[in-house]
Amino acid sequence: MQDLYKLVYTSTRQLDCTEDDIQNILQTSSENNQLADITGILLQSKYRFIQYMEGKRDIIYRVYERI
Local confidence band at 66 (pLDDT 50, 70, 90 cut-offs): confident
Chain centroid to CA 24: 12
pLDDT digits (tens, 9 = 90+) for 10-47: 999 999 999 999 999 899 989 989 999 999 999 999 99
Does pLDDT of 1 surpass 60?
Answer: no
Q: CA 45 to CA 22: how far, in whole Å?
A: 11
More confident residue, 52 or 2: 52
Cross-strand pairs, 8: 52
pLDDT at 2: 65
The sign of the CA dihedral 1, 39, 60, 32 is positive
